[in-house]
């Protein structure tokens, strides 16, 4: 099989250097960003400056050039922001939940007004294509809409008491200030999953974003500040941009945060879980995903091909739900391989703000090196490159070819998550063999099967089927809706964010019993004294 040539875009923006600079300037102006920004904030007039603070430089991953910088927060500023968050919680928790929902409603509307420039800023700083950047902001808007409705439905259960003249019920109260530590690949959406729900639940929050994408978090904080100011608030949505030593580790260890939400790698997630557990706090973990699609003997190959390409190539393979492994029935193996290789040849690679680009750059040079090293390990374990396999320095410093490798079942490299557009293709003869192979990895986030058979799909969704937190039939692994709880099992961390009853994570449960009988019967029929 001959390797196709990818469709490349010019290294410079198709607009030209001057026009590209003008476009960047217009995005910055729309979002109230400047060349130098502050990285600690509790409200509209509460951006904190400190002489001599270290500067964090943000790079454009498409060109490697500097976009701007942020003054990193110090430990002194950490205390100021955390104290303000804790202070505000005392009054914010007393605001009725539907009133808190009005603040989140206005946050969603403010995001609507800034959807295009904010989405383009995501693309500019993170590298995902423009459609995905704007889609990420739409996800923020969607979770705000969801949370507004939820603010009138934070329901508890009622239970029958065994004692006459007693009533039992449970209710939910705000848990306290929440620490949100987010990752670079979804620099704003995952924050919003946590922030919108935490806010309607009566919690305040402190956000520590990825150092790879600091500017877009400053832009979001500006939007939050205006919404808070419109409601006479401060300290509900707070921001701290800084180093792990000055900000992240103190947040994790700080008992003022009963809940820490962390999105990132499995090794760091383990450290977070242990540190939070040591102080008997809660951690909400969204960690690695080594996601697989099974293509059954009766699958619609066109449908499967489109889902696999988006799942593996979208966001340059830098989604936690990206498709990394495909198990295809041996009768369809060659057809699917040919179909995927042809589809990959049409993927346009280049400037993520170019409307015709389908894949932008990886995050940095380390990500490129990691992908190339994984390809070499896969080759050493019997892998064959069907398409791709190289970096693209002529396009940009962090651009790569999306890569498909045919692999033997059971290769060790299949158990690893490589955060890049690297797809492994394996064939199988028996469905249970494929399900076993899919589950035989440490991670357990997203999974999918393509089949036209009802029983095959139901088998995949049964208790003996996929062991992942997300399981789909005739849908790819990537692109979850906000209405369902998002998260996974095993090394993925067990956390659940976004929809369904994920809101309960941000609250504390209280069981209440009211005695209106005039006597004092004890439970279990116990008699104590006269």
Can 468 be counted among the known catalytic residues? Answer: no
> Residue 42: CA atoms inside 13 Å, Cβ hemisphere, count?
20
487: left (phi over 0), alpha (psi -120 to 50) or beta: left
- Per the DSSP assignment, residues forming a β-bridge with 261 are 180, 284
Structure-token match 């209710």, residue found: 171
The Cα 130–Cα 133 span in angstroms is 5
Dihedral angle over CA of 318, 3, 6, 325, nearest 10: -20
Euclidean distance between the first and final Cα of the chain, in Å?
90
Active-site residue (options: 286, 416, 417, 497): 286
User: CA of 101: how far to CAs of 154, 155, 487, in Å?
Assistant: 11, 15, 24
Q: Would you say 113 and 71 are in contact if contact means Cβ atoms under 8 Å apart?
A: no
Contacts of 136-141 with CB under 8 Å at 24 or more apart are 136/186, 136/187, 136/188, 136/189, 137/111, 137/188, 137/189, 139/189, 139/192, 139/482, 140/108, 140/111, 140/188, 140/189, 140/192, 140/196, 141/108, 141/111, 141/112, 141/115
Could you confirm whether 170 is annotated as catalytic? no
Are the C-beta atoms of 485 and 499 separated by less than 8 Å? yes
HSE-CB at 9 with a 13 A cutoff on CA atoms is 26
Name the active-site residue from 84, 320, 416, 468: 320
Query: Which residues are part of the catalytic machinery?
Result: 286, 320
């Amino acid at each position: 099989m001959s390797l196709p040539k990818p469709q490349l875009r010019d290294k410079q923006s198709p607009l030209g250097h001057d026009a590209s600079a003008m476009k960047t300037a217009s995005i910055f102006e729309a979002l109230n960003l400047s060349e130098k920004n502050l990285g600690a904030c509790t409200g509209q007039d509460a951006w904190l400056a400190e002489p001599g603070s270290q500067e964090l430089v943000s790079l454009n991953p498409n060109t490697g050039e500097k976009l701007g910088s942020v003054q990193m927060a110090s430990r002194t500023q950490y205390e100021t922001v955390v104290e303000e968050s804790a202070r505000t919680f005392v009054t914010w928790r007393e605001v009725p939940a539907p009133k808190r929902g009005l603040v989140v409603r206005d946050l969603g509307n403010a995001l609507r007004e800034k959807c295009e420039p904010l989405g383009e800023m995501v693309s500019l700083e993170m590298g995902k294509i423009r459609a995905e950047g704007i889609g990420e902001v739409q996800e923020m808007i969607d979770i705000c809409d969801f949370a507004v409705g939820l603010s009138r439905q934070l329901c508890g259960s009622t239970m029958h008491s065994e004692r006459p003249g007693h009533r039992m019920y449970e209710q939910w109260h705000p848990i306290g200030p929440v620490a949100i530590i987010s990752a670079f690949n979804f620099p704003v959406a995952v924050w919003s999953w946590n922030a919108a729900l935490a806010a309607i639940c009566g919690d305040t929050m402190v956000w520590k974003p990825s150092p790879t994408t600091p500017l877009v978090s400053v832009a979001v904080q500006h939007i939050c500040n205006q919404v808070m100011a419109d409601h006479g608030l401060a300290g509900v949505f707070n921001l701290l941009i800084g180093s792990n030593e000055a900000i992240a580790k103190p947040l994790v260890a700080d008992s003022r945060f009963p809940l820490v939400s962390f999105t990132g790698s499995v090794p760091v997630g383990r450290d977070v879980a242990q540190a939070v557990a040591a102080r008997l706090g809660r951690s909400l973990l969204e960690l690695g995903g080594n996601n697989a699609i099974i293509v059954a003997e009766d699958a619609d190959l066109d449908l499967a091909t489109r889902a696999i390409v988006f799942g593996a190539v979208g966001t340059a393979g830098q989604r936690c739900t990206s498709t990394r492994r495909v198990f295809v029935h041996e009768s369809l193996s060659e057809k699917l391989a040919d179909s995927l290789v042809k589809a990959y040849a049409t993927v346009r690679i280049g400037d993520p703000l170019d409307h015709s680009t389908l894949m932008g750059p990886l995050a940095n040079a380390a990500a490129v090196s990691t992908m190339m090293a994984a390809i070499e390990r896969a080759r050493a374990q019997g892998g064959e490159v069907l398409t791709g396999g190289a970096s693209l320095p002529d396009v940009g410093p962090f651009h790569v070819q999306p890569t498909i490798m045919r692999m033997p079942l059971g290769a060790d490299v299949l158990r690893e998550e490589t955060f890049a557009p690297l797809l492994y293709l394996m064939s199988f003869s028996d469905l249970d063999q494929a399900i076993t192979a899919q589950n035989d990895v440490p991670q357990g986030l997203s999974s999918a099967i393509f089949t036209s058979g009802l029983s095959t799909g139901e088998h995949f969704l049964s208790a003996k089927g996929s062991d992942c937190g997300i399981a789909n039939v005739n849908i790819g692994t990537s692109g979850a809706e906000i209405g369902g709880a998002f998260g996974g099992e095993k090394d993925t961390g067990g956390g659940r964010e976004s929809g369904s009853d994920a809101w309960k994570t941000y609250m504390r449960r209280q069981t209440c019993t009211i005695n209106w009988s005039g006597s004092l019967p004890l439970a279990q029929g116990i008699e104590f004294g006269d």
